[in-house]
Amino acid sequence: MNDKLNIEDIFKEKFENFSQVPQKNVWNYINRKLAIKSFLKFNLLNFNIYYVGIITSALIISGSIMLNSENNKITIKDNVQKEITTIQKQTENNVEAENVPVITQKDIKKNNSVLDNNQKVTNEIHSNKSIVDKTIIENVNNIESQNSIVKNENTTIGLISKAEFSADNYSGCAPITVNFTNVSENCIKYRWDFGNGTKSNEANPNIIFENAGKYKVKLFASSEKEDLIYERTIIIYEKPKANLIVSNKNDLFTGDEIYFTNTSISGNKYLWKFGDGTNSETANPVHKYEKSGNYSVKLIAISEKSCIDSSEIIKIAIKETKYKVSAPNAFTPSLDGPKDGNISSSDYSNDIFAPIFISDVAEFKLRIFNRRGILVFESTNPKFGWNGYYRNEISPSGVYVWECSGKFIDGENFSNSGDLTLIYSK
Amino acid sequence: MIDTEEIIEKCKRNDREAQKLLFETYSPVLFGICLRYARDKFEAEDTLQDGFLKILNKISDFNGTGSFEGWMKRIIINTAITNYHKNKKHNLNLDIEEIQETNIEGTSYNGSDYTAEELLKIVNTLPEGYKIVFNLYAIEGYKHKEIAEQLNIDINTSKSQYSRAKKLLRKKLELFSKIKINERQA
C-alpha cells in the first residue's frame, strides 16, 4: 500500500502544477482558425467589402456561363438567342422592379414555352444528332439555372429572411434574467414564447426565469413572404438555499466551542466564513474564536451545477473568558438542617449553589425562583450561595431558576441566568 | 494579475486581443496537461489547438460560477480523451502477456529524484491505454466508474489497466534511478 501511495504521490506532486509554454505557432494556428470562423459567420453588422466581392464574382461567373451557353447555341435559331437576351434583360430589370417574384415567374414560364417550341424545332432538324440535342437541353437548363441564380442574388441582397436569436446566458442559476438578442434577418414581426408561460412581441426581450428547468425558447418571425421559427433551449439550474443554525448565540466566550449546523437545501459544497478571517469547507463545523468581539458568520452553499447562495449573516458576540459567569445545573442540599451559605473551596459536598466567576466581582445580585415564580433566595455576596432551604424548610426537589447580574471590578457588566435541579432523597 | 472575469467577458464578445491574452495566460498549464496525454509534442500541440478553440467556442456557455481554470482543464482533458478515441485504431495496444510482473521489493526511488520532465518521459513510455487511465485516475482524480464511461471500457478494465500501469511505472522509475546513480558514479 505504501508503494501505491508513493507512485501516485510522486507523479501527482510533480504534475499538479506542471506547465510548459507551447510554441508560438499554436496560437498562430488558433488565430487563423478564428479569423476564418468570424469571416464565414454571416452577419449584416459586419457586412463588408468581402461579401460585395463574393456577390460580384458570382455575377461575373454567371455571366460567363451565359456567354458560354450562347456560344454553344449554334444550332438554335436566332429568335432563341433573342429570347435569351430578353430573359437576361428582363431579369436584370427585375432586380430593380418592385414585384420581383411575380414578374420573374411569368417571364420564366413564357420564356420556357418559347424555348420548348424552339427545342422542338431544333429536335426536328437534328433528330439524328443526339449530342446536339443534349447540348440544347443543357442550354435550356443553363438558362433556367441562370434565372434561379439571378433570383437568389436578388434575395441575397434584400430578401432572404432568417429567424435567429442569441442570449447572453444559455444556462444559469435560477432566478436569472436572460437578455435575448434578435439576430433575425429581414423579418418584420416577432413573437416570442419562452416556454415558461411568458410571451413577448418585443424585438430584444429581457426575461426573468424564476425556476429551474429546461425551457424551449421559440422565436416566431414573419417576413413578407414566410413565417419562420427558431428554437433554443435555455437550461436553468436550481439555486441552493444556504441556511444555518448556531448552537448558541448568547453568552459565548473566547475558546468556547460553537457548533454550527448546516440546514441548506440542495448544496453540494459549502464555505463557511466565520468573520474572524477563517473559513471552513466542512458541512457542519465546530469553531472557536480566539478573540472577543462581534463576528458576522455567513454560509455559502454551492450546488452541483455551481449555483451559489449565501445565507443571511448571523451576528455572534464573543466575550472574554474572564467575564464568563457559569453555574452548576444541579446540587444536593444537606439533609441535616440548613448550612450557612458560605462557599468554601475545600468543600466538595455540593450542598451550596452559587455561580462561578473567573474574575473578581464588585457588584453582585443572585436571585432564585421556584416553579411558581416565588423568590426563594436572594444574595448580594458572591461568596454566599443558596443552601436549598426556604424559610428553614428544605425546598422540594425539582427545577428552579436562577438569575445573576452585577459588575466586575474592571467595570464590565454581566448578567446570566439558568435553571438548576435540586436533588435529594430522604 | 489579470482580471479573469473581464477577459472572459471580452472573449465572449470575440475580442481577439482578450483571446490572445487568455491563451498566453493559461496555455502553459493546459499544454502541460496535453503533454501528459499525447504521444509526442506535436500531438500535444494538436490537442491544445483543438481544445482551446473549443474553449473559445463555448466560452459564452460559461456561466461565471465555478472555477474557470477547472472548466478549461476539463475541456482540454475531454479533448485529449476524444483524440484518444480517434487515434485508438492507430495505437499499439500491449497484450497482457507482455507485461511482466515485477518484483516490488526494495524500491529505491523517491519523489525528489525526478523532475517533472523526466516523469513525463516515463509516463509517455506507457502504452496508450495505460497512460490515459493512469492520467485520469492518479493525476486528475477521476473514479474508475467515470473513466470506464469516458473511455467506453469496462470498469474492471480500467482498474486492471491502472494497476498494470502502476507496476510498469514502478519498474521504470527503478530503472531510471539506477541509471542516474550509475551516471553519478561514473
Note the pLDDT tens digit of each residue in A189-244.
888 999 888 888 888 888 888 888 889 999 988 887 788 888 888 888 888 888 88
Closest residue of A to B41, CA-based?
Answer: A22
Chain centroid to Cα B36, Å, comes to 4
Question: Residue B103: is its pLDDT beyond 70?
Answer: no
Which single residue is written with the C-alpha cell 413564357?
A110
Smallest CA–CA distance from A15 into chain B, residue: B116
Q: Residue A384 and residue A419: Cα distance in Å, rounded?
A: 18
Look at residue A3 and tell me whether its pLDDT is greater than 50. Answer: no
pLDDT of residue A366: 94
B119-163 tens-digit pLDDT: 888 888 888 888 999 999 988 888 999 888 888 888 888 999 999
* Contact list, B40 vs chain A (CB under 8 Å): none
φ, ψ at B144 (rounded to 5°)? -60, -35
Q: Which residue from A minimizes the CA distance to B169?
A: A7
Identify whether the C-beta of residue B49 lies closer than 8 Å to the C-beta of residue A30: yes
The answer, for B59 touching chain A at a CB cutoff of 8 Å, is no
pLDDT at residue A115 is higher than 90 = no
Work out the mean pLDDT of chain A and round it to a whole number: 76
B63 interfacial to chain A (CB closer than 8 Å)? yes
Residue in B with minimal Cα distance to A4:
B166
Confidence of residue A100 (pLDDT cuts 50, 70, 90): very low
Assess whether pLDDT exceeds 90 at residue A368: yes
Hey, are the CB atoms on A7 and B19 less than 8 Å from each other? no
pLDDT band at A81, cuts 50/70/90? Answer: low
Q: What is the CATH number of domain B4-90?
A: 1.10.1740.10
Burial environment of residue A30 by CB neighbours within 10 A (0 to 12, 13 to 18, 19 or more): buried
**Are A295 and A275 in contact, with CB atoms under 8 Å apart?**
yes
Sequence letter at residue A138: E
**pLDDT, position A69:** 60
CATH of the domain spanning B96-185 = 1.10.10.10
Q: CA-CA distance, A344 to A100, in Å (whole number)? A: 113
Lowest mean pLDDT, pick from A91-95, A97-101, B25-29: A97-101
Please indicate if any CB of chain A lies within 8 Å of the CB of B32: yes
The answer to whether the complex's ipTM is over 0.90 is no
Q: Supply the pLDDT for residue A71.
A: 55
Q: Which fold has domain A325-422?
A: Immunoglobulin-like (2.60.40)
Spatial distance between the Cα atoms of A386 and B82, rounded to a whole number of angstroms: 80
User: Mutate which of B26, B33, B61, B65 to disrupt the A interface (most A C-beta within 10 Å)?
Assistant: B65
Q: What is the pLDDT of residue A107?
A: 45
Q: What is the pLDDT of residues A16-50, one digit of tens each?
A: 778 888 888 888 888 888 888 777 665 555 555 56
Asked if the C-beta of A23 comes within 8 angstroms of chain B's C-beta atoms, the answer is yes
- A20 close contact with B: CB closer than 8 A: yes
Are the beta carbons of B116 and A172 separated by less than 8 Å?
no
Using a CB–CB cutoff of 8 Å, tell me whether A26 touches chain B.
yes
Q: What is the pLDDT of residues A122-142, one digit of tens each?
A: 444 444 444 444 444 444 454
Confidence of residue A347 (pLDDT cuts 50, 70, 90): confident
- Distance between alpha carbon B175 and the CA centroid of its chain, in Å? 23
Residue A105 has pLDDT above 60, yes or no: no
**What's the confidence (pLDDT) of residue B52?**
93
The nearest alpha carbon in chain A to B55 belongs to A30
What is the arithmetic mean of pLDDT over A53-76?
66
Those of residues 34-63 in A touching chain B at CB distance below 8 A are 34, 38
pLDDT at B185: 73
Residue of B45, B109, B123 lying closest to A23 (CB–CB): B45
Mutation target for B interface from A1, A14, A41: give the one with most B CBs within 10 A: A14
The CATH homologous superfamily of the domain defined by A244-319: Immunoglobulins (2.60.40.10)
Domain ranges of chain A: 49-158, 165-237, 244-319, 325-422
In angstroms, rounded to a whole number, what is the distance separating the alpha carbons of residues A18 and B30? 9
Residue that wins the pLDDT comparison between A50 and B102: A50
Q: Which whole number is the average pLDDT over A245-251?
A: 77
pLDDT over 90 at A2, yes or no: no
Q: Number of A to B CB contacts under 8 A, please give it.
A: 110
What stretch(es) of chain B map to CATH 1.10.10.10?
96-185
> B16 and A10 in contact by Cβ < 8 A?
no
A11 touches B: beta carbon within 8 Å: yes
Give the architecture-level CATH label for domain A165-237: Sandwich (2.60)
- Percent of chain B topping pLDDT 90: 14
The per-residue pLDDT for A101 is: 41
Query: What is the average pLDDT across B158-177?
Result: 86
pLDDT value, residue B33: 92
CA distances from A269 to A36, A71, A264 (A): 42, 77, 10
Q: Which contiguous run of DSSP H or E holds residue B111? A: none
pLDDT for res A405: 92
The closest CB to that of B114, out of A4, A14, A31, belongs to: A14
Per-residue pLDDT band at A52 (split at 50, 70, 90)? low
User: Does residue B104 belong to the interface with chain A, where contact is any CB pair within 8 Å?
Assistant: yes
Mean pLDDT score of chain B: 80
pLDDT band at A148 (very low <50, low <70, confident <90, very high): very low
pLDDT score for A127:
46
Q: Is A367 helix (H, G, I), strand (E, B) or coil?
A: strand
Facing B107 at nearest CB: one of A3, A23, A29: A3
| CA pair distance A399, A327, nearest whole angstrom | 14
Position A109 scores a pLDDT of 46
- All residues at 6 or more sequence positions from A5 whose CB lies less than 8 Å from its CB, including other chains: none
Q: How many CB atoms lie within 10 A of CB B119?
A: 23
List pLDDT tens digits, range A305-326.
888 889 888 899 998 888 888 8
Mutate to test the interface with A, among B63, B167, B169 (most CBs of A within 10 A): B63
Q: Who contacts A295 (Cβ-Cβ below 8 Å, separation ≥6)? A: A274, A275, A276, A289, A315, A316, A317, A318
Please report which confidence band the pLDDT of residue A289 belongs to, taking 50, 70 and 90 as the band edges: very high
Confidence of residue B89 (pLDDT cuts 50, 70, 90): low
Distance CA A231, CA A164 (A): 8
Give the pLDDT mean for B99-124.
Answer: 65
Q: Least CA distance to A14: which residue of chain B?
A: B116
Q: Let me know: does B84 contact B127? Beta carbons within 8 Å.
A: no
Q: Is the pLDDT of residue B3 over 90?
A: no
Q: Over range B3-11, report the average pLDDT.
A: 85
DSSP secondary structure code for residue A381 in this structure: -
User: Could you check whether A244-319 and A325-422 share the same CATH topology?
Assistant: yes
